[in-house]
Structure 1
Amino acid sequence: LINQAAIDAPFTYIPTTANVGYCFNFAPEEGVLAPGGIQTIQISFNASIAGRFEEEFQFNVAGSPTPAILTIKTVAAVFRECLGFHVSKLCNDCVGFPYSKTCRLTNPSQAPLRFKLRVSDDGTQPAVSSFDQIRNDSDPSWTDGIHLYMEPREFTMNPRQGIIPPQGHQDIEVTLCSNTVREFYRRMLVDLEGFGSGVASLTIAARCLVPELRVYPHVLLYDECRLKVPYERKFLVVNDTDLPGCYGLVPQKRMKDTPVFYSSPQPCGIVQPHSIAEIPVVIEAQTLGKHHTSVL
């Protein structure tokens, strides 16, 4: 502070709580400047939030109609290298089922951080999981495949956003549910409120595979059947792979001239790795003669 007048200038700092003013301290906060005198003011700054901001501080001078104003432009002392993951890559082996892995987002700074997570190039329409699909055996996706009107959102994070306390951490569960056979190489980005977008990132390398399931026997013989009397036989779905698989009987569109009706109390389901699922099939012959139909 400089007193350019010819008389003494008593001054007093006017405290403020606006915006981030409470993060600043001034010493001394009051005093008297002699004519032509200079007073050095020490400013202490302790950031409680991250971001760029501009703050105005006022000093009241006795006898002056307007205060002396000091404007401070600053960036909160939270830098990119202060926020990060404890791993550099997250690898998923996804087989069309929701598959999750956990990573940890750390905040070694002295201020709480409000974050949001997103995955680069991910879509917006929710992906369809196998667990959702097997709840409806008549879903058209069993015969026509899954139709998406927009790119699917195949990655989810829990939590997707939140606040990490000073020198704290947040465990993040990353789940991939892919609807296509493909390989992924994406980045999970961290947006920091008040500071910027993509201040930290984690590479996600993933692949989606579909296991090869075998059926035994290939033909179910029902021999002689009476008209409109139910008969049951069973076949096996064998999964010799290390991955879970999903099966579903083709939904039957019954017409007036359909010769054989078929159904199953287990029309769709999941076959775990290195296991066998036993599937019952019930038929009812509607007309005389020899008939055959495909159920898978």
Structure 2
Amino acid sequence: PPSHPQLSPLLAGAPFLTPSAFLKEMSLTTKQSLASTREMRRPQIIQLLDMSETSHHKPSAVDLEQSLFQSFPSEVVFQNYVPFEVYEVPLILRNTDKVSKVVLETPHFKLISPSDVCCKVAPGMRSTFHVLFIPEENKDYFHQLTCITEREKFIVLIQAIGARAILDFPDQLNFSVCPVKYSSQKTLLVCNIRNREARYRISTESPVSDDPSIGTLGIGDAMQVTVEFHPLKTGDHSSSLVVHYDTGEDIHTSLYGAAVDVNIRLARNSLTVEKSYLMLSNHRSVVIHNRSEIIVHFQWKAFVTQEEEDRQKLRPQRQKEDKMDHCLRECEVDPALPERLSLLSCTFQNVQGDSMLFSDDVFTLEPVEGDIWPNSSAEINTRLPLCIKRGGIGPQLRFSFDQLDIRKVFVGSDHSYEAILFNKGAIDAVFNLVPPATALGSCFTFLPQEGIILPDGLQVIRISFSSTILGEFTEEFRFTNTSSACLCPCRGCVIGLTFHFNVPTLHFGDVSLDFPHTMSCCLTNTSSVPLTFNLRIPGDGLGEPSVSSFVQLSDSTRLLRRKGAQHRFKPTEFTIKPCRGTIRPLGLLDIQVTLCSNTGKSYELALVVDVCGVGKAGSALLLTARYRHFPCSSSSLLVHPSPRCLARGLLASSPNEKCCLMS
């Protein structure tokens, strides 16, 4: 077997495994890894047998290239295990032939057969075996389960993935825009976040390099990795940073960078030197402007492009090879020629190291190379040929503002704005709004969304906004034309509706049994939009509304029926009027809350306001009350049993309960 196991089925099918995917796979338990297995492969046949020695059924409906049994999973994988604990994975074997086959196994791992199967599987049927694994330490294990039928031997791989080192590299690394032949660096703080010492090797492709490229990192330790992007030509560059672990896994981080020419130009595109007399000189000056943020090292070159310069350097190399071959043939005749051979080699080495600077018998440039210092410290070689260039200029669209700030607005409110789109160019500008792709962007409406603006003309754009999404936002809308795009940035904050009660709490005080108590409050809408609300009291009963003593006197039968249902649901003791409705902007509404206690207890609940379309429990008002028994000592009152007492008597209540006084 190999020194380390193969990757699990999920990792084996990934050609470019990212660090996050590797971490996710290595974090799975054995059961989770089995549940994520979707691929099933044919078992590997290692030997064909003579069926006549063990069976009377020689013909088979299955080709010789295919095994008589199909296993699932194709590979048994254990991972994230603890030493000396027992782990179990089911192994399903399905007989694909027309006759029964005998299944045997090698004692690498313990294989438990089903109790009702004696090593035989009926044609077309399947049987579930169980592979037991008891690790002695957290390391890699690799075994082969051998299955023998009348016709063949095939194997099922069993692997145990032990401890793994994982360096938390990002999935992507973007160098953004970088000047040509300029080094842009990214320094990453990489930590070993798993349970094994990391022995790694990092490989990259040009124009990207890294440091360090090989090393060891302990468990929980961190290090700095510097990735450098040094493009030699303009354009987009994509490559990968590959981390090779000593356990066999290769993890890929995508790298991207764009190389551009910086703003370096000549003050003039042509230079004319006046006629001069023989043996005398004349001079003119030209200025090189560096409008970039880096130090520029310039050289006047003899060739326009790098390709022409490279071809010129290859010519002496070919001449050197030809002359070297000629000298070697002559060395066999003249012993003094080896000294000339070494001198010839040095001469050609000097040619290869030549910078190919500008040189001419008539014209002289001073200085032929140097530095132009701007605001940063870097070096770039930019070839600037003295030639004439022309470029096209498209429509120049501009908005009347840099950013539309709508500030704080209420959720669901409608707002309108006006923006002016100018055409500062010399040709007609055809504009089109790019439809927004975000949920909040769809809350904006622009009219018109397309049109034509004449040179030095303008177009008024009406912007409408209404949102049901709370929170701060920043959106950028694009108006495209034939050659460029004009941006309309918008920012703001959508806040919820504001409202409040006129009292901090409703204190009912001492309440008696079966007598309603009503208190009032006022709900004020301080928003500029209507407030649609629902009022509720969490913690109140879920049964029928509580019955007052007046109703009990008139309907004792109903009281008996309600009394029989009290063991299932507590009555609803609070009544809210109104419990729902809509309050106009900056308006108010009186709310009445009635408590009719049927349970005789202390109350400390909350009157909760739910705002429709926004959310639940937007605000709450505290409700308090305390049950108190009020004895009657007046001899002038006539004592009659109340309906509640009658009901209690009919229901065979406790003799300790006392009748209520009814005057």
Within 1, Cα distance between the matches of 2:515 and 2:607?
Answer: 20
Within 1, Cα distance between the matches of 2:412 and 2:573?
Answer: 43
Asked if 1:87 is matched to 2:486, the reply is: no
Letter in 1 for 2:499: L
Asked if 1:186 is matched to 2:605, the reply is: yes
Letter in 1 for 2:638: L
Secondary structure of 2:576's counterpart equals strand
1:41-120 aligned within 5 A:
52=470, 61=480, 63=482, 74-76=493-495, 78=497, 82-92=498-508, 93-95=510-512, 96-120=514-538
- Report how far residue 33 of structure 1 moved: 5.2
- Report how far residue 137 of structure 1 moved: 2.9
Letter in 2 for 1:110: S
CA gap of 1:216–1:188, structure 2 versus 1, over 3 A, is same
Is the Cα contact below 8 Å between 1:11 and 1:61 reproduced in 2? no
Letter in 2 for 1:100: T
Match of 1:124 in 2: 542
Per-residue CA deviation, residues 45-88 of structure 1 (Å, 9 max, x unaligned), is: 887x8752889896654558x9978787842353xxx3211100
The number of residue pairs the alignment matches comes to 216
Within 1, Cα distance between the matches of 2:610 and 2:413?
Answer: 25
Within 1, Cα distance between the matches of 2:499 and 2:578?
Answer: 17
CA gap of 1:110–1:156, structure 2 versus 1, over 3 A, is same
Is the Cα contact below 8 Å between 1:190 and 1:197 reproduced in 2? yes
CA gap of 1:55–1:114, structure 2 versus 1, over 3 A, is farther
- Report how far residue 127 of structure 1 moved: 2.8
- Report how far residue 134 of structure 1 moved: 2.1
Secondary structure of 1:237's counterpart equals coil
Higher strand share: 1
- Report how far residue 195 of structure 1 moved: 3.0
Asked if 1:154 is matched to 2:154, the reply is: no
Unaligned 5+ runs, structure 2: 1-391, 400-410, 427-457, 651-659
Query: Which is bigger in relative contact order (C-alpha 8 A, separation at least 6)?
Result: 1
Within 1, Cα distance between the matches of 2:562 and 2:537?
Answer: 31
1:223-242 aligned within 5 A:
236-237=638-639
Per-residue CA deviation, residues 124-144 of structure 1 (Å, 9 max, x unaligned), is: 212331233222234564996
Asked if 1:250 is matched to 2:646, the reply is: yes
CA gap of 1:67–1:160, structure 2 versus 1, over 3 A, is farther
Secondary structure of 2:639's counterpart equals strand
Match of 2:583 in 1: 164
Q: CA RMSD in A?
A: 4.8
Is the Cα contact below 8 Å between 1:137 and 1:249 reproduced in 2? no
- Report how far residue 197 of structure 1 moved: 2.2
Is the Cα contact below 8 Å between 1:24 and 1:43 reproduced in 2? no
Within 1, Cα distance between the matches of 2:537 and 2:613?
Answer: 20
Letter in 1 for 2:646: V
Match of 1:30 in 2: 421
Within 1, Cα distance between the matches of 2:486 and 2:397?
Answer: 12
CA gap of 1:137–1:60, structure 2 versus 1, over 3 A, is same
Is the Cα contact below 8 Å between 1:52 and 1:194 reproduced in 2? no
Which of the two has higher C-alpha Rg?
Answer: 2
Is the Cα contact below 8 Å between 1:25 and 1:45 reproduced in 2? yes
